[in-house]
């Protein structure tokens, strides 16, 4: 077993220190979260290719800052487990709501008879990344007074097809629709029409863990798969 602790000893297996855990941990993550292909050699994840360096490491966002804890419960420190500075090993991803909070910025500007909605991504990889079926959704809610007069929903999910052109899961895909992710440290814009009548419009950013297609293909029945999580709301803009 290799890792970031120089004086690690285990009665169960050999241990080796590797300095890159401390110096450049993304090297480790990219062993697996690089550029994955489906069974048909179609690229379905490209976190490494997307990556644009920032001050933050993968471990800062997906594990935790280092804090006092224990790397193991072996009684190696005078009969007690040894206290060390460690990170949490949750590898927090899209299943954890707080990770999404503020993951994208949202702005809207009037332009002629439309709105230009800009999503900004400060993260070092695209949002979404690494798993093809996540679905960010931009909801546009038009109101007149307190009455909702119209809603529009823009799905940012990618859809995958097998070699016969039938819907399938990313891991079996031969092709896909356009990549709708917001580029690493970049922006993506959408043109949204205004509607007739004076009122207000609200932009809400939601996401679902998988889109409808994947949910039915994999027969995912539990509520978490269809739940629409709120990410950000941009509060009313006058029409």
Summarize as ranges the residues that interact with ligand HEC (CB under 6 A): 25-26, 28-29, 31-33, 47, 51, 56, 58-62, 91, 93-95, 99-100, 103, 123-125, 127-131, 134
Residue in the block written with tokens 């009684």: 75
Task: State in angstroms the smallest separation of the CB of 15 from ligand HEC.
Answer: 17
Task: State in angstroms the smallest separation of the CB of 91 from ligand HEC.
Answer: 4
The Cα–Cα gap between 128 and 149 comes to: 31
Question: Which residue lies nearest ligand HEC, judged by its C-beta?
Answer: 93
133 or 201, CB closer to ligand HEC? 133
Task: State in angstroms the smallest separation of the CB of 12 from ligand HEC.
Answer: 20
127 or 201, CB closer to ligand HEC? 127
97 or 111, CB closer to ligand HEC? 97
Q: Please report, for residues 36, 38, 129, 149, the alpha-carbon distance to residue 41 in angstroms, rounded to integers and kept in the order given.
A: 9, 5, 18, 46
Task: State in angstroms the smallest separation of the CB of 110 from ligand HEC.
Answer: 29
171 or 200, CB closer to ligand HEC? 171
124 or 199, CB closer to ligand HEC? 124
Task: State in angstroms the smallest separation of the CB of 44 from ligand HEC.
Answer: 12
């Amino acid at each position: 077993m290799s890792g970031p602790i120089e004086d690690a000893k285990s009665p169960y297996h050999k241990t080796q220190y590797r300095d890159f855990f401390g110096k450049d941990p993304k090297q480790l993550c990219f062993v697996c979260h690089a550029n994955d292909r489906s069974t048909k050699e179609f690229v379905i994840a490209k976190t490494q290719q997307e990556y644009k360096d920032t001050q933050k490491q993968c471990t800062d966002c997906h594990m935790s800052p280092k804090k006092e804890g224990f790397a193991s419960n072996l009684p190696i420190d005078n009969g007690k487990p040894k206290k060390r500075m460690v990170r949490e090993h949750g590898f927090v991803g899209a299943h954890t709501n707080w990770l999404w909070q503020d993951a994208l910025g949202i702005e809207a500007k009037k332009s002629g008879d439309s709105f230009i909605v800009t999503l900004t991504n400060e993260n070092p990889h695209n949002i979404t990344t690494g798993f093809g079926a996540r679905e960010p959704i931009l909801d546009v809610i038009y109101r007149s007074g307190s009455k909702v007069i119209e809603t529009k929903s823009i799905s940012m999910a990618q859809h995958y097809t097998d070699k016969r052109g039938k819907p399938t899961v990313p891991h079996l895909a031969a092709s896909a629709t356009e990549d709708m992710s917001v580029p690493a440290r970049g922006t993506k814009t959408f043109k949204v029409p205004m509607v007739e009548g004076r009122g207000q419009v609200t932009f809400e950013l939601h996401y679902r863990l998988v889109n409808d297609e994947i949910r039915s293909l994999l027969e995912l029945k539990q509520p978490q798969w269809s739940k629409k999580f709120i990410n950000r709301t941009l509060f009313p803009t006058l029409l």
